[in-house]
Structure 1
Amino acid sequence: MHGLMQDRPLSLPMLMDGMEHRFSRKHVTTERLSGTVSASYGEVADRIRRLAGVLDHLGVPAGARVGTFGWNSQRHLELYMAVPCTGRVLHTINHRLFTEDIAHIVDDAADDVLFVDRSILDVVRPLLDTCPSVRHLIVMDDGSPAELPSGPRVHDYESLLAGARPVEAFEPVGERTAAALCYTSGTTGRPKGVLYDHRSIVLHAMTLLMADTFAISEDDTVMPVVPMFHVNAWGLPYAALMAGANLVMPGPVMSPDRLVRGMEEHRVTFAAAVATVWRGMLPHITDADLGSVRRLVSGGGALPESLSRAFQERTGLPLTSSWGMTETSPLVCSARIPSEDAHSLTGSDRVTALAAPGPPTMLCSLRLVAEDGSLAPRDGRHRGELQVAGPTIAAAYFGGAPHAAAFTEDGWLRTGDVATIDHHGVVRIVDRTKDLIKSGGEWISSVELENAIMAMPDVLEAAVIAVPDDKWGERPLACVVPLPDSGLTAQDVRRHLSGRVAKWWIPERVVMLDELPKTASGKFAKAALRQLLIAGSG
């Protein structure tokens, strides 16, 4: 027997009603190279309908991939809605990837149209002769002086919108229709495509509104510092539109001081970024008025407890952790204090708790699988590979990309992360399976070592990798970026670790570097670090 409720799909066109009516006076503000621009949601909705008309005029087929090379901006937000609302697939592309990876991604997705911010044109220009599927290039002028390409397939975004016929009513879009395509960062081989449907995006956005997740509401002014080309900016643009929250888009103006100034000027209440960005912003927040902020979220990698504590000391708010992957939409876990511990945990202990990923959202199921294939107990001590299942989790990769190692026979996603889960459901990431160090038959967590090192006041960044050892099999090697003029030595690092970690965890080798290589999404690139050290020792 079926229920007798209306059969309305969970699809993105449902967000248009709020933009055009209840929240029409709310605003999206964008920082451009030429200055700040702002538009109401009502005005943006009209432009979304015009952009939909542009896609029809250009003959973009249903289901076609529409590639975007864009910063966080109002125009990119318009693409976030117009493309999937018309049955096409939004394909956001990370322009910071290697050139060959970008070419592979555009070719693998068979993008029909590319939209590009003028300041990113130099990345896209070489693709025009190597990616035969691309029929049109639409340039969004963000004030950059970059030379414009010529030819009949090159168009100006604003000119197209000015001459477009708005789409008055979007055709019904099935909730399982493909809506967006994002590629993994390619840290373990070629980037692989993750194809989200309307249902997964809507459900994921709804979880960001929940009180025990991010609690985004109409009262908020949300600043997604995390790029819109990276896992849909963690779903924050869609969540803000759904709730009627104001949006502040940093655009190409990504220097740490300007980001802090934007948070202050626009009275931002919620912001999210990766830890490396927060670390860059830290020196600029001391004199800033961030009294409007209620929550600062870090993701995309481990959050050093020392960094969270530094924000607590300077702003009165700790950075709170989160965890997810491209394959998980991305949010799976959001840090919070369980109610049983709310009164017992005080200042320092609360920061420690909020620096862990936290419990999962209500739509995600988790399990830990031990080395022998059994399920590890949820006692906060036993560790295992973290596996995830739910309606916002990928079931396969786009285009038939190899995935045998990524999914279990019963359909769970293998995350590649080693974790513990306690009786409250709180997740703590111990390491990546490929980054664990096995020394003398015992495991050493590179993440825990890194956090211990980064607690030193004179350390800017630290990464720990495994190196071969004739006696123990593997030993940890610490790569440390000291603060300028600190005079930090390897002996200082080892002395600091004494008593903080097990004696046999302490690295014999500590290498001082000017900087650590990072992936396009801001994570430590340990594969590149290993190659760098091997080349340096050869």
Structure 2
Amino acid sequence: MLGNMMDTQLLIIDLLRHARDRHPSQAVVSRRLEGDIHRSDYAQIWQRSSQLAHALDALAVKPGDCIATLAWNTHRHMELYYAVSGIGAILHTVNPRLFSEQIDYIINHAEDKIVFVDLPFVKLLEPLQDKLTSVKAFVVMTDRAHMPDTSLAQLYCFEELIEAQPTDYDWPRFDENTAAALCYTSGTTGNPKGVLYSHRAMVLHAQATASRELLDLDTHTVLMPMVAMYHAGAWGAPYAAPLAGCKLVLPGAGMDGASMSELINSEGVTVGLGVPTIWLTLHNHWADNDVSNTTLERVCVGGAASPLGMVKLYQERYGIYWQPIWGMTETGPLATSLPPTADVMALPMAERYRQQTSAGRAAFGVEMALFDADDQRVCHDGTATGELRVRGPWISSQYYRNDDLSAFPDGWLATGDIAVIDPNGTLRVVDRKKDVIKSGGEWISSLEIENIVSQHPSVNECSVIGARHEKWDERPVLIVVPNKNTSMTHEDVVAFLDGKIARWWTPDQTIFITGLPKTGTGKVLKNELREQYGNVLVS
């Protein structure tokens, strides 16, 4: 017997409709690529999204068509988030920091019909346009005064496209399982893989993201996503913020410390989203300029492990709670978090800091389990390790146009993370399967060593790799970017680690460099470090 409930569909456009109805005057602030600060609100975002939907119709965009964007965090990009999915087409956010061959590959693989592009990325597309066989037009996301001189053919100006269009639109209703958005993984090895999100998944993810279990957003929150809107949907911020009715601050391309600091101060930002390197960049700017007072209350940090040194630094110097989150492009992306609940804040500081270097606990809807090498479940006792697998309503079930289901065994997503889960459900990622160091048949966690070394006062950032060894197969090598005006030696590192890790985990060598190689989303490229330093222990 079925219940007697209405069968209404969960659609992305209704998140913005809710904001228009409940929070029409709530601010949306963005730093535009033209250099100015643009001020809008949810009512205006609704109107401009409606105008954009009419413009897409005029360009003959049909339901199911993929529409690409190469764009930063601005109000125009947010309008595309709603207009494209709202008419039943698929928003394909392309990471412009990928190699040109990868950009070419994913636009063709998705068969994108139109490409919307921000000013800095126009030159990037010019040498690719003849290879993009499905693309019929390019739209530069600016006004006529800032239109570039470019060889791109079938070229349109964003503001001219929408300026004469009506400010309301009869949004279609359709099945909530319809595809809404497409994002490709970073592709550090092989071609990037596409993750195709549905309307249902994104609406449920937005509800979870706004809830106290994940980002804890409300009308008093001033949210600034420092994770790019071209990567995993800016961790759901463009969807969750309208739902929660919070003020949204979009930093454009301003990912440097000075630009971040300026927006935080001028807009009263209280919650930021970003990878650890973003918050290291902000700290370095603040330290150079002797800043200690800020409106920022929380930084929600994912994409890489949270270094204990940064957790303590943000609390003790700035009074900011470092809130760990965990997820992947394939998980919506947010799955777990550790918000500052009463029980967490009541912990002794040492234990609280330790908890803040975990990945937190799963939100409702996300199921987690650990599996060993024999595909058997591992108990959640806080000690036993296994590969983390997840499933839930916003977890991918396969890659787009890809029949390889090896990453999706028995209805789970195999994450590639080696982890432990304690009896309270707290997840701690031990290492990536590809990064764990196998020394003499035993595992060494690169993340745990990095976590401890990050607390050394002379260390700005660090990474640990497994280098080839004639006797032990692999041994850990530490790579350090020192703080300005400091000096340290390998012997200093050994002394600092003494008593904090097993002696046989101690890195055999420390290499000092000026900067770590990173992906376009701020993750350290350990494969590049292994290529460069993987043989330093072999005579």
What SS does the aligned partner of 1:359 have?
strand
Q: Report the Cα offset of residue 148 of structure 1.
A: 2.9
The answer on whether the counterparts of 1:200 and 1:391 sit within 8 Å (CA) in structure 2 is yes
> Could you say if the C-alpha distance between residues 241 and 438 of structure 1 is closer, same or farther in structure 2, counting changes exceeding 3 Å?
same
Q: Report the Cα offset of residue 137 of structure 1.
A: 0.3
Say which is worse superposed, 315-324 or 77-86, in terms of deviation. Answer: 315-324
Letter in 1 for 2:401: G
Match in the other structure for 2:133: 132
What are the within-5 Å matches in structure 2 for residues 54-73 of structure 1? 54-73=55-74
Match in the other structure for 2:397: 395
What are the within-5 Å matches in structure 2 for residues 288-367 of structure 1? 288=291, 291-336=294-339, 343=346, 345-367=347-369
The percent of aligned pairs where both chains have the same amino acid is 38
Q: Report the Cα offset of residue 169 of structure 1.
A: 1.2
> Could you say if the C-alpha distance between residues 535 and 116 of structure 1 is closer, same or farther in structure 2, counting changes exceeding 3 Å?
farther
Q: Report the Cα offset of residue 483 of structure 1.
A: 1.8
The answer on whether the counterparts of 1:69 and 1:92 sit within 8 Å (CA) in structure 2 is yes
Q: Report the Cα offset of residue 202 of structure 1.
A: 0.3
What are the within-5 Å matches in structure 2 for residues 15-54 of structure 1? 15-32=15-32, 33-54=34-55
The answer on whether the counterparts of 1:28 and 1:74 sit within 8 Å (CA) in structure 2 is yes
The answer on whether the counterparts of 1:261 and 1:288 sit within 8 Å (CA) in structure 2 is no
> Could you say if the C-alpha distance between residues 288 and 469 of structure 1 is closer, same or farther in structure 2, counting changes exceeding 3 Å?
closer
Match in the other structure for 1:112: 113
Q: Report the Cα offset of residue 326 of structure 1.
A: 0.4
The answer on whether the counterparts of 2:123 and 2:150 sit within 8 Å (CA) in structure 1 is no
What SS does the aligned partner of 2:273 have?
strand
Letter in 2 for 1:453: V
> Could you say if the C-alpha distance between residues 153 and 426 of structure 1 is closer, same or farther in structure 2, counting changes exceeding 3 Å?
same
The answer on whether the counterparts of 2:221 and 2:270 sit within 8 Å (CA) in structure 1 is yes
Q: Report the Cα offset of residue 294 of structure 1.
A: 3.1
Q: Name the TM-score, length of structure 1 as normaliser.
A: 0.95
What are the within-5 Å matches in structure 2 for residues 130-529 of structure 1? 130-141=131-142, 147-150=148-151, 153-166=154-167, 168-285=169-286, 288=291, 291-336=294-339, 343=346, 345-400=347-402, 402-404=404-406, 406-408=407-409, 410-529=410-529
What SS does the aligned partner of 2:378 have?
coil
The answer on whether the counterparts of 1:34 and 1:142 sit within 8 Å (CA) in structure 2 is no
**Alignment root-mean-square deviation, CA:** 2.0
> Could you say if the C-alpha distance between residues 262 and 338 of structure 1 is closer, same or farther in structure 2, counting changes exceeding 3 Å?
closer
What SS does the aligned partner of 2:335 have?
strand
1:206-233 Cα deviation digits (max 9, x unpaired)? 0012122211112211111110001000
Say which is worse superposed, 10-19 or 324-333, in terms of deviation. Answer: 10-19
Say which is worse superposed, 224-233 or 248-257, in terms of deviation. Answer: 248-257
> Could you say if the C-alpha distance between residues 451 and 146 of structure 1 is closer, same or farther in structure 2, counting changes exceeding 3 Å?
farther
1:302-358 Cα deviation digits (max 9, x unpaired)? 110101111101221231111100000111110246766653x22232122122111
Letter in 1 for 2:361: P
Say which is worse superposed, 157-166 or 35-44, in terms of deviation. Answer: 157-166
The answer on whether the counterparts of 2:306 and 2:356 sit within 8 Å (CA) in structure 1 is no
State the alpha-carbon separation in 2 of the partners of residues 166 and 142 from structure 1. 18
The answer on whether the counterparts of 1:50 and 1:161 sit within 8 Å (CA) in structure 2 is yes
What SS does the aligned partner of 2:360 have?
coil
State the alpha-carbon separation in 2 of the partners of residues 365 and 176 from structure 1. 20
The answer on whether the counterparts of 1:85 and 1:173 sit within 8 Å (CA) in structure 2 is no
Match in the other structure for 1:79: 80
State the alpha-carbon separation in 2 of the partners of residues 144 and 366 from structure 1. 52
> Could you say if the C-alpha distance between residues 503 and 176 of structure 1 is closer, same or farther in structure 2, counting changes exceeding 3 Å?
same
Q: Report the Cα offset of residue 472 of structure 1.
A: 1.4
> Could you say if the C-alpha distance between residues 327 and 146 of structure 1 is closer, same or farther in structure 2, counting changes exceeding 3 Å?
same
State the alpha-carbon separation in 1 of the partners of residues 266 and 291 from structure 2. 10
The answer on whether the counterparts of 2:332 and 2:394 sit within 8 Å (CA) in structure 1 is yes
State the alpha-carbon separation in 2 of the partners of residues 47 and 120 from structure 1. 23
Letter in 2 for 1:509: Q
Letter in 2 for 1:68: T
Q: Report the Cα offset of residue 284 of structure 1.
A: 3.3
State the alpha-carbon separation in 2 of the partners of residues 151 and 122 from structure 1. 9
What SS does the aligned partner of 1:112 have?
strand
> Could you say if the C-alpha distance between residues 289 and 239 of structure 1 is closer, same or farther in structure 2, counting changes exceeding 3 Å?
farther
Q: Report the Cα offset of residue 234 of structure 1.
A: 0.3
Q: Report the Cα offset of residue 389 of structure 1.
A: 0.5
State the alpha-carbon separation in 2 of the partners of residues 535 and 445 from structure 1. 19
Q: Name the TM-score, length of structure 2 as normaliser.
A: 0.95
The answer on whether the counterparts of 1:294 and 1:317 sit within 8 Å (CA) in structure 2 is yes
Q: How many residues align?
A: 535
What SS does the aligned partner of 1:127 have?
helix
Letter in 1 for 2:57: D
1:17-47 Cα deviation digits (max 9, x unpaired)? 3233221111110113422110121111111
1:154-181 Cα deviation digits (max 9, x unpaired)? 0000000113345521010311000000
Letter in 1 for 2:493: V
The answer on whether the counterparts of 1:121 and 1:146 sit within 8 Å (CA) in structure 2 is no
Say which is worse superposed, 284-293 or 248-257, in terms of deviation. Answer: 284-293
State the alpha-carbon separation in 2 of the partners of residues 123 and 316 from structure 1. 41
State the alpha-carbon separation in 1 of the partners of residues 145 and 499 from structure 2. 53
State the alpha-carbon separation in 1 of the partners of residues 100 and 252 from structure 2. 22
Say which is worse superposed, 28-37 or 445-454, in terms of deviation. Answer: 28-37
> Could you say if the C-alpha distance between residues 465 and 54 of structure 1 is closer, same or farther in structure 2, counting changes exceeding 3 Å?
same
State the alpha-carbon separation in 1 of the partners of residues 145 and 373 from structure 2. 53
1:385-441 Cα deviation digits (max 9, x unpaired)? 00000001000000125342x110x11000000000001100000000111111122
What SS does the aligned partner of 1:528 have?
helix
Q: Report the Cα offset of residue 530 of structure 1.
A: 1.3
Q: Report the Cα offset of residue 534 of structure 1.
A: 5.1
State the alpha-carbon separation in 1 of the partners of residues 291 and 178 from structure 2. 45
Say which is worse superposed, 155-164 or 12-21, in terms of deviation. Answer: 12-21
The answer on whether the counterparts of 1:337 and 1:354 sit within 8 Å (CA) in structure 2 is no
Letter in 1 for 2:170: A
What SS does the aligned partner of 1:495 have?
helix
> Could you say if the C-alpha distance between residues 324 and 4 of structure 1 is closer, same or farther in structure 2, counting changes exceeding 3 Å?
same
The answer on whether the counterparts of 1:380 and 1:423 sit within 8 Å (CA) in structure 2 is yes
What SS does the aligned partner of 1:21 have?
helix
Match in the other structure for 1:92: 93
State the alpha-carbon separation in 2 of the partners of residues 522 and 144 from structure 1. 33
> Could you say if the C-alpha distance between residues 152 and 131 of structure 1 is closer, same or farther in structure 2, counting changes exceeding 3 Å?
closer
Say which is worse superposed, 120-129 or 219-228, in terms of deviation. Answer: 120-129
State the alpha-carbon separation in 1 of the partners of residues 292 and 458 from structure 2. 26
Letter in 2 for 1:514: T
Q: Report the Cα offset of residue 89 of structure 1.
A: 0.2
The answer on whether the counterparts of 1:10 and 1:202 sit within 8 Å (CA) in structure 2 is yes
